[in-house]
Structure 1
Amino acid sequence: MSVLNLLYYPDPGLRIKAEPVKKMNSKINKIINDMFETMYFQEGIGLAATQVGINLKIIVINIDQIEEIVLINPKLIEKYGNSYIEEGCLSIPDQRAKINRSNFIKIQAINRIGNKIEITASSLLSICIQHEMDHLEGKLFIDYLSLLKQNRIEKKIKKLYKFKNHNKYEI
């Protein structure tokens, strides 16, 4: 396993819509393993493939440090309820904002071994899945904010970091 390079906002790669995984194979399993390694290295609870420059519909999640969840080609089936929670993102370091998400969701996906699964999630898991599914559509949590708040975050990021090599920041 290896740690992959994380894309940081405003990298245009974060705005690309991911393509469906067509076939499970050893290459996809390596990507999944590397994504988990990267997520743990970055001390995150979820990671979408687009965040590491891989334009495939793959999400890895581990919110409790116990159960690893792999979602391939996830589709939202049902959602209800509201939850405002402060979100952050590995690709937008040191920035957080309260976002309105559905508290309960049901999704269909393919798991790590290629089986179709259905997951009903609430609370933090629901929010994490929605956040990562947004990444697969080229959407970031800051897109839910007002333009004024988006501009403030962008100014903070530009002040804190210098954008270098299209995908890395230098402090």
Structure 2
Amino acid sequence: MTVQPIRYFGDPVLRTPADPVVDFDKELRRLVGDLVETMRKHGGAGLAAPQIGVGLRVFTFDVDDVVGHLINPVLEFPDDEEQDGQEGCLSLPGLYFDTKRRQNVVARGFNEFGDPLQIVGTGMMARCAQHETDHLDGVIFIDRLETDERKKALKEIRRADWYDPANTRIKVSPHAVHPQAGPSPFGLGR
């Protein structure tokens, strides 16, 4: 297994919905191993395949000393209970923001061999499953922040030493922006 480089905020792969896994083969098992090694090396609670540049619906997790993975996840929420707490991301290193998530989740998918798998999670495990599944849908956790908090987050991203505006492409609104309008709320500028 190999530790892979993490893709940072602005990399287009993080905004591209991942494809479902169809081949449960040796290459998939290598990907799962690489994700686990990379997640552990960087101290993450979870890591999705797009974060290492692979557009497949796979994520790994390390929560409460339980290390695992889920392929082609589908989330269900057994109730409406919410949690609010600090959330971070290996693709936005060093930045943490209070983020609302559902408190309880049932995540269904497959293991690396194609066997059905179900994870019932609460608290941190529920947060992790939602965060990583968002990555597979091209969503980054700051997208879930209230408008004012998201603006603060974008300012902090611009100040981060890892942020490189010259090599960053931001997902922009598909709607026309009026020339007199201010900066786009969908990115770091127009």
Does the alignment reach a TM-score above 0.5? yes
CA–CA distance in structure 1, aligned partners of residues 135 and 148 of structure 2: 22
Per the TM alignment, residue 164 of structure 1 is displaced from its structure 2 partner at its CA by 7.7
CA–CA distance in structure 2, aligned partners of residues 3 and 106 of structure 1: 29
CA–CA distance in structure 1, aligned partners of residues 68 and 15 of structure 2: 24
User: Could you list the runs of 5+ residues in structure 1 that have no partner in the other structure?
Assistant: none
User: Could you list the runs of 5+ residues in structure 2 that have no partner in the other structure?
Assistant: 169-190
Root-mean-square deviation (Å): 1.7
CA–CA distance in structure 2, aligned partners of residues 73 and 165 of structure 1: 33
Q: Which has the higher strand share?
A: 1
| Aligned twin of 1:127 | 127
| Aligned twin of 1:15 | 15
Per the TM alignment, residue 149 of structure 1 is displaced from its structure 2 partner at its CA by 2.4
Q: Which has the larger radius of gyration?
A: 2
TM-score using structure 1 length: 0.90
Per the TM alignment, residue 166 of structure 1 is displaced from its structure 2 partner at its CA by 4.2
- Secondary structure of 2:155's counterpart equals helix
| Aligned twin of 1:163 | 164
Structure 1 moving runs of 4+ over 4 Å: 164-167
* Aligned pairs for 1:45-56 within 5 A: 45-56=45-56
Q: Structure 2 counterpart of 1:155, which letter? A: K
TM-score using structure 2 length: 0.81
- Secondary structure of 1:9's counterpart equals coil
How many pairs are equivalent?
166
| Aligned twin of 2:35 | 35
- Secondary structure of 1:157's counterpart equals helix
Superposed CA deviations along residues 116-151 of structure 1, whole A, max 9, x for unmatched, are: 012211111011101100000011110011333223
Identity, in percent, stands at 31
